[in-house]
């Protein structure tokens, strides 16, 4: 396989290469891969562990079934996932190596995240210690800061969409709801209810990339307590609860610095939410996840 990390002109199969320097890539198709086992399934298909036969390169193949995409009228959604994800390159973001399609399938060639979903680790651990949660949140904050710099809003930050790499590092994944928005003002409601920012739950929503900062606050709460603030077992999640900031108080075992971090992100006014660059130097993050640690 040609070096998928290079960028340059796009071929019709979506693989990028540097013309005149690297040989033109071979047309990609399923026959080039040995498909090993299923890693998981999503809305329109399944993800498989695979090996590129010629190079031995191990990757994940996300195989979407065209009839299922069409049945849900989600062509735009898939096109957007490919467009956004293929333009991102960051250690905290799941690698996107290329894509192709045949008569029945659309296939994305992705970095294999050997540790699986953060969600499964959280369920197994019940909740994370403060140092562990702070290190995870620092990594996700850096990935989100990169997205904001590229004018991308993820819109579906949650533990199910965060994968774990070979060294235990986090990889932000699933760009199905993401949008490249240089104007930074959107109106479409999407994502997962208990992570939705209050401004997204209004009758006529208008929102910016600050919705990802809200979701970061929800994620921090969840990593420290094991449950989302707006999805506790006691009551239903309603947009009104989100808009009223009606969430169970954080347990006394959570430090004042962590509480301050969460309450600086779960702010109703999007303009007043802690900016990501400030989140990275927040005392809670610095205490547990300073670069020297
Ligand atoms: P998705 O369709 O992207 O939501 O993926 C469905 C599930 O497959 C995920 O929730 C993960 O459990 C698994 N999965 C997806 N991509 C990968 C990957 N690159 N490496 C390992 N597991 C993955």
Q: What is the DSSP string of 131-198?
A: HHHHHHHHHHHHHHHHHHHTTEE----SGGGEEE-TTS-EEE---TT-EE-TT--B----S-GGG--G
Neighbouring C-alpha atoms within 13 Å toward the C-beta of 4: 25
DSSP, res 266: S
- Check residue 116 and give its pLDDT: 97
- Measured CA to CA, the distance from residue 7 to residue 16 in angstroms comes to 5
Take atom 13 of ligand 1 and give the residue whose Cα is closest.
40
Active-site pick, 9, 156, 246, 269: 156
CA of 93 to the centre of ligand 1 (A): 13
The total number of residues written for the chain in this structure: 293
**Domain architecture of the chain: domains with CATH:** 16-110 (3.30.200.20), 118-288 (1.10.510.10)
State the pLDDT at residue 16: 57
Residue 156 appears among annotated catalytic residues: yes
State residue 19's pLDDT score: 57
CA distance 260 to 83: 36
Residues near 252 by beta carbon (within 8 Å), at least 6 away in sequence:
none
Q: What is the pLDDT of residue 3?
A: 39
Of the candidates 195, 194, 197, 224, the residue with the CA atom closest to the CA atom of residue 208: 197
How far does residue 41's CA lie from ligand 1's centre (Å)? 7
Please give the pLDDT value at position 2. Answer: 38
Place of tokens 């994620």: 219
Pair 29, 13: CB distance under 8 Å: no
Instruction: From 155, 168, 43, 59, select the one nearest 108 (Cα to Cα).
Output: 59
> Which of ligand 1's atoms lies nearest the C-alpha of 41?
6
Q: What is the Rg, in whole angstroms, of the alpha carbon atoms belonging to the chain?
A: 20
The neighbouring-strand residues paired with 51 are 34, 58
| Rounded Cα gap, residues 88 and 180, in angstroms | 11
Question: Can you tell me the distance from the alpha carbon of 200 to that of 105, in angstroms, rounded to the nearest whole number?
Answer: 33
Taking the centre of ligand 1 as the mean of its atom positions, its distance from the CA of residue 161, in whole angstroms, is 8
pLDDT tens for the 293 residues of the chain, in order: 433 333 333 444 555 555 566 666 668 999 999 999 999 998 778 999 999 999 999 999 999 999 999 998 889 889 999 999 999 999 999 999 999 999 999 999 999 999 999 999 999 999 999 999 999 999 999 999 999 999 999 999 999 999 999 999 999 999 988 999 887 667 676 767 888 899 988 778 888 999 999 999 999 999 999 999 987 656 666 888 899 898 889 999 999 999 999 999 999 999 999 999 999 999 999 999 876 54
Task: State the pLDDT at residue 10.
Answer: 41
Q: Does residue 56 contact residue 85 with C-beta atoms inside 8 Å?
A: no
Q: Are 163 and 171 in contact (CB under 8 A)?
A: yes
Residues with CB under 6 A from ligand 1: 39-42, 47, 60, 62, 94, 110-113, 116-117, 160, 163, 173-174
The β-bridge partners of 180 are: 152
pLDDT score of 18: 56
Q: 18: helix, coil or strand?
A: coil
226: left (phi over 0), alpha (psi -120 to 50) or beta: left
């Amino acid at each position: 396989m040609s070096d998928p990390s290079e960028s340059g002109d796009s071929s019709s199969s979506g693989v990028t290469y540097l013309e005149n320097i690297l040989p033109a890539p071979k047309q990609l198709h399923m026959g080039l891969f040995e498909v090993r086992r299923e890693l998981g399934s999503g809305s329109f298909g399944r993800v498989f562990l695979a090996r590129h036969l010629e190079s031995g390169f191990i990757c994940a193949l996300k195989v979407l079934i065209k009839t299922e995409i069409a049945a849900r009228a989600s062509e735009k959604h898939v096109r957007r996932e490919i467009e956004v994800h293929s333009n991102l390159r960051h250690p905290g973001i799941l690698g996107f190596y290329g894509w192709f399609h045949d008569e029945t399938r659309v296939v994305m060639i992705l970095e294999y995240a050997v540790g699986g979903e953060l969600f499964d680790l959280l369920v197994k651990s019940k909740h994370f210690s403060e140092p562990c949660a702070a290190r995870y949140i620092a990594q996700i904050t850096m990935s989100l800061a990169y997205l904001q710099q590229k004018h991308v809003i993820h819109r579906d930050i949650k533990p199910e969409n965060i994968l774990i790499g070979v060294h235990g590092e986090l990889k932000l994944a699933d760009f199905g709801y993401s949008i490249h928005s240089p104007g930074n003002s959107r109106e479409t409601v999407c994502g997962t209810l208990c992570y939705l920012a209050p401004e997204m739950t209004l009758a006529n929503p208008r929102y910016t990339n600050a919705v990802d900062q809200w979701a970061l606050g929800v994620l921090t709460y969840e990593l420290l307590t094991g449950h989302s603030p707006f999805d506790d077992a006691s009551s239903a999640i309603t947009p009104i609860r989100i808009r009223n900031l009606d969430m169970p108080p954080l347990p006394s075992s959570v430090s004042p610095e962590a509480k301050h971090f969460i309450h600086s992100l779960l702010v109703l006014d999007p303009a007043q939410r802690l900016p990501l660059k400030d989140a990275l130097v927040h005392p809670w993050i610095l205490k547990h996840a300073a670069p020297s640690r």
